[in-house]
Amino acid sequence: MNQLEIRDLWASIDGETILKGVNLVVPKGQVHALMGPNGAGKSTLGKILAGDPEYTVERGDILLDGESILDLSPDERARKGLFLAFQYPVEVPGVTIANFLRLALQAKLGREVGVAEFWTKVKKALEVLDWDESYLSRHLNEGFSGGEKKRNEILQLLVLEPAYAVLDETDSGLDIDALKVVARGVNAMRGPNFGALVITHYQRLLNYIVPDRVHVMMDGRIVAEGGPELALELEAKGYEWLRERVKEEA
């Protein structure tokens, strides 16, 4: 059961139901894409997986390697190996990236992490991202451009090495060079011990992170699944085409 499984998940915010029975499985070792038009509920799913207290889960379950994480706090989920790259990373003035990352790594590993061990890890991650060491002494996301914030999310991904990652529109607002850097980071993580769900509105990112499977979400549920070719088809025909098809099938 080495997989991230979302089972008939219903969820709401402020009384409005956003997710209406999501079923989705990402086996460890694979990278899946979650596509869909704006307002389909993709980002909501990402936040709920991470345990955002703003949302209420009404029905269903989330299983990490066969174990329900629904009752776990966000930090407990993270320590179990789940990582969410935020669509809008939060600015935390007064906290340096280095200090924060080391505390997060210690929390993840459940032990002290020496300065040498920490730096070895961080330096490797910085190289992959082609990022300057000076960023580590900057305050977390404070005054960062959109691209810097996304790169910082991937830096955390590389250092924390989660078993499963959800990347919420990490491509939005990036130029092509930044996009390539982000993709390089995710691809560096690929392997038998890593599963990822890449949430994106556009096919563009999937040129650089080629997914094993593609899921399409509309109006709070998964309406289509397929191989990487599904993303290309959507790019060519648009979401309206799929919407019509879903209607016909119903």
Residues binding another protein: number (CB under 8 A): 28
Taken in order 236, 238, 241, 243, is the CA torsion positive or negative?
positive
Q: Binding of another protein at residue 146 (CB under 8 A)?
A: no
Taken in order 46, 51, 52, 53, is the CA torsion positive or negative?
positive
Q: Binding of another protein at residue 107 (CB under 8 A)?
A: yes
Residues with Cβ < 8 Å from 138, sequence gap 6 or more?
96, 97, 144
Q: Which is nearer to another protein, 141 or 203 (CB)?
A: 141
Neighbours of 209 (CB within 10 A): 22
Please give the backbone phi and psi of residue 148, each rounded to the nearest 5 degrees, phi first. Answer: -65, -40
Q: Which is nearer to another protein, 139 or 180 (CB)?
A: 139
Q: How far apart are CA 169 and CA 146, in angstroms?
A: 12
Q: Binding of another protein at residue 86 (CB under 8 A)?
A: yes
Among 100, 119, 135, 208, contact with another protein (rule: CB under 8 A): 100
Residues with Cβ < 8 Å from 59, sequence gap 6 or more?
8, 9, 10, 21
Residues with Cβ < 8 Å from 248, sequence gap 6 or more?
none
Q: Which is nearer to another protein, 73 or 193 (CB)?
A: 73
- Please identify, among the stretches 60-68, 95-103, 206-214, 222-230, the one whose residues bind another protein according to the rule CB under 8 A: 95-103
Q: Binding of another protein at residue 147 (CB under 8 A)?
A: no
* Least distance from another protein to the Cβ atom of residue 219, Å: 26
State how far Cα 171 lies from the chain centre: 11
Give, in order, the Cα–Cα distances in Å from 147 to each of 31, 95, 126, 159: 22, 20, 15, 19
**154, 129 in Cβ contact below 8 A?**
yes
* Least distance from another protein to the Cβ atom of residue 226, Å: 30
Q: Binding of another protein at residue 89 (CB under 8 A)?
A: yes
- Please identify, among the stretches 27-35, 44-52, 56-64, 200-208, the one whose residues bind another protein according to the rule CB under 8 A: 44-52
Residue type at 183 in one-letter notation:
A
Among 30, 87, 152, 156, contact with another protein (rule: CB under 8 A): 156
Among 13, 104, 163, 232, contact with another protein (rule: CB under 8 A): 104
Q: Binding of another protein at residue 137 (CB under 8 A)?
A: no
Q: Which is nearer to another protein, 74 or 147 (CB)?
A: 74
Among 64, 158, 160, 183, contact with another protein (rule: CB under 8 A): 160
Contacting residues toward another protein, per CB under 8 A? 50-53, 73-75, 77-79, 83-84, 86, 89-90, 92-95, 99-100, 103-104, 107-108, 139, 156, 160
